Chain A
């Protein structure tokens, strides 16, 4: 009987971590549905970006209020999770506060004291976040794409954090031995008064309950990540590593197009020649992207990383002037469609079964795509190096090169370039006329 809690704990732990691992595998599988892209260059710069942007939060603090609060929650979470290590050891081996046995009391007290202060700060920060979302109603949290699940998701995460921090402090406050030690109970000592008159047995029950709920809560939260925008706490790291290192104005040149253009321009090429023996002609399935599998895997990683903060959308000139385009929605749509494709594959024994839907039109409308000015404000604004513009461009490529479905004025512009080398109907021979005007 004595080992029952230990066994129970082990089962909960294995189930909690196991289910999460299963979903991580699914996540990786889905991301790999994207096209291959070479991101093996300039590793030192990539590590540096990850250290500065994800670890160092350098882009978060560009908006100081949200930035500083976020740093508190981020640092708090990482550091308080050291405590989880103790909880796991205690749970598995039936010890109580194993830290006290291996560390000097003063050091243990210092650590727990730091955790308590951080827990308190995290609680306050998260409360301010909640007020910004629900009382002040910051515009970016109330855009049209932020209804139903995305809106609730944002609040659920905040409630989770509030509850977890409270449980941690209550656990310490009701631990009679810990309080008697009077080292590290910097915050929890003030909560002790709340439990005045509670019998020692009841205190023990409360302490055990808080302990169990805290660790179970953490495991539930861990598993909640996969279903939530909160995945960014993990994916921000690979995402900033794989983020673009090129100048923002540089759009990739499609290699398949280069080959065809070179052939067209080369007078020595026989267009009717049969391909050389053994040489596979590489013809891409399609130009541009109409669905998630046409995007590259970094773009798909981007979509899972997005935490829907809406900085991109709030900086977008099209969105600011009432157009339908929202870069955040581009990322959310990409992720939602990718999830749908993933579930389709799960349901059909590992093979995607045509479902009559695609990212274009079923999720992202043409009106949104054509509203973009390619100004890169969204890319600049993203605190974790997401690039919504590259997805917009790939989808425009599909519309123009596969469907000839550009707005008619753009078709006129392109015809002009084809015919006279300028977007307007002027003769190339008149290009130097300004000199004598």
Chain B
């Protein structure tokens, strides 16, 4: 499979004197986390299938600084941001797509003030555009009629008011989209944001991801769909904690679409 993936870098495009249509910002999770790498590959397969001329920064990419900023380390955040902006501006990047809502939010909202102005899209928005332009077709395949619930990532939903693109994609799979008690702007956090991903939670009587997973399990889904690598980890852990991993899968929207077409 992997030999089929076409993943050109910005440096390669530059060497040929060409500009890609869009830069795919992979993010740290998408680059290093074993679960998230599968999401990255699924998205690349879709980009390849739709013949999108995209590029990645590869080894020139670095953390956006999101977890540092939300921990309170503004210095580290801005060092990361300014370094990344220098690279992006040197390549004259205009449009960025990313599968991580944290990278999405940071580059879209916090980079402009530091000199980085780009059109930034979440991968669900980008896939939706490909679909609307007829460059990508979505079939239900194995997900036809399946009960799928979508967990809104805080940094996509409340933070940036993107609620519909992921849902429209799920519906295109001819799946049965079921909503949790708390969804859209009332969606409950998975527990990973604000750099919580990298630390043990404070003392309490429950973990946030377990609470959220229980809300998801209440609507009896076969699949919990996510749009964020961190939510994905938290919900997967939650499903394991409830010993439901044989009944319920946690999958990114990009994986759902790629798998539906046996890519």
Contacts and interface: CB of A to CB of B under 8 A. Distances in A.
A426 B199 contact: no
Given A258-B113, A370-B199, 13 more contacts: A261-B78, A318-B208, A323-B203, A396-B72, A397-B72, A397-B74, A400-B73, A409-B200, A413-B68, A413-B195, A421-B80, A424-B32, A434-B37
Interface in A162-190: none
Contact of A376 (B2, B5, B109, B158): B158
Contact of A377 (B37, B58, B68, B189): B189
A63 to B, nearest CB: 11
Given A371-B202, A375-B154, A377-B158, A396 B188 contact: no
Nearest to A424: B32
A422 B62 contact: yes
Interface string B51-93: 0000010110111010111111111101110110010000000
A247 B161 contact: yes
B200 to A, nearest CB: 7
Contacts of A437: 2, 37
Interface residues of B, number: 73
A66 to B, nearest CB: 15
Contact of B205 (A262, A321, A325, A373): A321
A57 to B, nearest CB: 17
B9 A371 contact: no
A374 B110 CA distance: 15
A395 B197 CA distance: 20
Interface of B: 2, 5, 7, 9, 26, 28, 30-33, 37, 40-41, 56, 58-59, 61-63, 65, 67-76, 78-80, 82-83, 86, 105, 108-110, 113-114, 154-155, 158-161, 185-186, 188-189, 191-208, 210-212
Interface stretch (A213-221, A231-239, A248-256): A248-256
30 contacts: A249-B159, A251-B110, A258-B78, A258-B113, A261-B79, A261-B82, A321-B204, A367-B202, A371-B201, A373-B192, A375-B154, A376-B154, A377-B189, A396-B70, A398-B72, A400-B72, A400-B73, A406-B73, A409-B198, A413-B195, A414-B67, A421-B62, A426-B31, A428-B62, A431-B26, A431-B59, A434-B26, A435-B2, A435-B7, A437-B37
B67 A413 contact: yes
Interface of A: 246-251, 253-254, 257-258, 260-262, 264-265, 287-288, 315, 317-318, 320-325, 367, 370-377, 379-380, 393, 395-401, 406-407, 409-410, 412-414, 417-418, 421-424, 426, 428-437
Nearest to A320: B211
> Which residue of B41, B72, B205 has the most chain A CB atoms within 10 A of its CB atom?
B72
A429 to B, nearest CB: 5
B189 A254 contact: no
A399 B41 contact: no
Contact of A423 (B7, B28, B40, B59): B28
Contact of A323 (B37, B69, B193, B204): B204
A93 B40 CA distance: 79
B207 A321 contact: yes
B193 A417 contact: no
Nearest to B37: A434
A431 B58 contact: yes
Contact of A417 (B32, B56, B65): B65
A317 B189 contact: yes
A422 B29 CA distance: 9
B205 A322 contact: yes
Nearest to B109: A250
Contacts of B30: 434
A401 B62 contact: no
B235 to A, nearest CB: 13
B194 A374 contact: yes
B61 to A, nearest CB: 6
Nearest to B65: A417
B154 A373 contact: yes
Q: Which 4 A-B pairs have the closest CB atoms?
A: A249-B159, A396-B72, A374-B194, A421-B62
A432 B189 CA distance: 30
